Amino acid sequence: MKTSLIIISTLLVLSVFVPFMLFIYNGVKNTVSIKKQANALIKSKGLVYDPQEIWRKNFIGITNNNTILTYIKFSSEKPSVVSDINLNEIKQCSIIKNHNNGANKSLFLKSLDLEFVYKSSARPNLIIAFFNIDDDLTEDFELQRIEKWHKLIVNAISVQQALKIAS
């Protein structure tokens, strides 16, 4: 009687904890894979990024001299999307928040984007998506992340403009 109770208890405990361990293992494996892919692309460019961040399937970084912002979006269906933005050509950067009305008149976040406005009016504005409800079902501190990077980019743009004025 005691051995059957121990076996059933062990199976019950394993059936609860094994799925959690598998989810954690797969998440860590995917994160390591994205980091390896990002590092391979960064090394091929030969640039050194001081503020940089990898989250989900995205990489963003600004070079040490605050001249180039690189954004990489990894995708399993198509090749990675790499955007190298020369901050010398950027006039301003702004955050675009889109909300939708949910049940019970509650607002939920639909998308978060960074919009870059070029100094030259001939070039169209560039939009980088940080969060989209169609791609990611849950928000993972994207609002804090986009505000942090907006501040870093605005500071880098102002440093570039101050250097031009000083010279």
| Token pair of 119 as six digits | 């100094």
Per-residue model confidence as pLDDT tens digits over 31-82:
788 788 888 877 887 888 888 888 888 888 888 887 888 888 887 766 677 7
Percent of the chain with pLDDT strictly greater than 90: 8
Phi and psi torsions of 144, nearest 5°: -65, -35
Residue with tokens 């933005």: 85
More confident site: 115 or 158: 115
pTM across the whole model: 0.74
Task: Identify the pLDDT of residue 167.
Answer: 56
- Among the residue ranges 3-7, 23-27, 73-77, 148-152, the one predicted with the least confidence is 73-77
Task: Identify the pLDDT of residue 165.
Answer: 60
pLDDT (average), residues 100-120: 80
Which of 149, 145, 167 is CA-nearest to residue 51?
149
Distance from C-alpha of 41 to C-alpha of 53, rounded to nearest angstrom: 14
Which of 147, 66, 154, 148 is CA-nearest to residue 116?
154
Reported confidence tier of residue 150, pLDDT bands at 50, 70, 90: very high
Task: Identify the pLDDT of residue 160.
Answer: 62
Task: Identify the pLDDT of residue 137.
Answer: 67
Which of 46, 94, 54, 49 is CA-nearest to residue 67?
49
Task: Identify the pLDDT of residue 7.
Answer: 92
- Residue 90 · residue 124 · CB < 8 Å: no
More confident site: 126 or 139: 126
